Amino acid sequence: VDTNSKRLTIAIQKSGRLSKESIKLLEACGVKFTLHESRLLAHSNNQPIDLLRVRDDDIPGLVMDGVVDLGLVGENVLEEVRLERVATELPAEVTRLRSLEFGQCRLSLAVPKEDAYQGVQDLAGKRIATTYPYLLQDYLKKQGVNASTAILTGSVEVAPRVGLADAICDLVSTGATLEANGLVEKDVIFTSQAQLIQRPEPLNADKQAMVDQLLPRLDGVQKARE
């Protein structure tokens, strides 16, 4: 992506829980697209804007590295990537523009329902399965608890049952997944919703003008939804 380009580049999740709402929000702001399922890049039909459609995990890094101008991503992924990048000394700054009021969820500790659990101290010396090792260890450190992690990118909720872990740290929205797996939510360690983020280096004048036009429209759309 050419940073001198007049076209604003926005990264969104290609397919997943944030995709539909992300497109819907941009369209409500007057940015029109024709999406082709297999394509990574989509040009707007009516604005100098390009959409880059990627895994949500890639969005914070693309924005932090200035590869794209804006990104729409969950705070959970944003903070996990930020902590990982701080630990590995990679650029980790973004400018947060707006909370987007969709993709709400929480990252919680959960244990098998038959376990006695008084508090996070009970997890000392235990193993916790998660997709968010940095957020988890950051929380445990603040609580003064030493526990190990089993990093899984999926099926975290089955880990206790198959003996891979004693507890889990996973995203929850309705709680149905925990319930179905005989787990009980104990401590919320992080709450999240989708965020609009911008790369830290200033945008060129053309791009800044587009952002200045986009934000009031977004505020209008969100106000109308209340």
Considering the complex, what minimum distance in angstroms separates the CB of residue 16 from ligand PRT? 2
Which residues contact ligand PRT (rule: CB under 6 A)? 13, 16-18, 55-57, 74, 76-77, 103, 105, 170-177, 192
**Residue 84 sits in the site that holds Zn ion (CB under 5 A):** no
Considering the complex, what minimum distance in angstroms separates the CB of residue 34 from Zn ion? 25
The site that binds Zn ion (CB under 5 A) totals a number of residues, namely 2
From 29-37, 49-57, 107-115, 188-196, give the range in contact with Zn ion by CB under 5 A: 49-57
Query: Could you give the strand order of the β-sheet that contains 105-112, starting from the edge strand earlier in sequence?
Result: 148-151, 127-130, 167-172, 105-112, 183-192
Residue 191's beta-bridge partner residues?
106
Nearer to Zn ion among residue 52 and residue 214 (C-beta): 52
Nearer to ligand PRT among residue 17 and residue 217 (C-beta): 17
Considering the complex, what minimum distance in angstroms separates the CB of residue 100 from ligand PRT? 11
Q: Choose among Zn ion, ligand PRT, none what residue 88 binds, the Cβ cut-off being 5 to 8 Å by kind.
A: none
- β 70-74/183-192 pair status: unpaired
Q: Choose among ligand PRT, Zn ion, none what residue 123 binds, the Cβ cut-off being 5 to 8 Å by kind.
A: none
**Phi-psi sector, 187: left (phi>0), alpha (psi -120 to 50), beta:** beta
**Residue 58 sits in the site that holds Zn ion (CB under 5 A):** no
Nearer to Zn ion among residue 60 and residue 160 (C-beta): 60
| Nearest one of 111, 124, 131 to 190, comparing CA atoms | 131
Residues in contact with 135: Cβ distance below 8 Å, sequence separation at least 6, in sequence order = 76, 79, 80, 83, 107, 169, 189, 190
What residues numbered 20-39 form the site for Zn ion, per CB under 5 A? none
Nearer to Zn ion among residue 106 and residue 126 (C-beta): 106
Residues in contact with 116: Cβ distance below 8 Å, sequence separation at least 6, in sequence order = 122
Considering the complex, what minimum distance in angstroms separates the CB of residue 224 from Zn ion? 30
What distance in Å separates the CA atoms of residue 153 and residue 181, rounded to the nearest whole number? 17
Nearer to ligand PRT among residue 178 and residue 210 (C-beta): 178
Judge contact between 11 and 54, C-beta under 8 A: yes
Considering the complex, what minimum distance in angstroms separates the CB of residue 47 from ligand PRT? 24
Which CA distances in Å does 67 have to 10, 91, 110, 151, 220? 10, 12, 37, 28, 28
**Residue 157 sits in the site that holds Zn ion (CB under 5 A):** no
Number of Cα atoms under 13 Å in the Cβ half of residue 128: 27
Residues found near Zn ion in the complex (CB under 5 A): 56-57
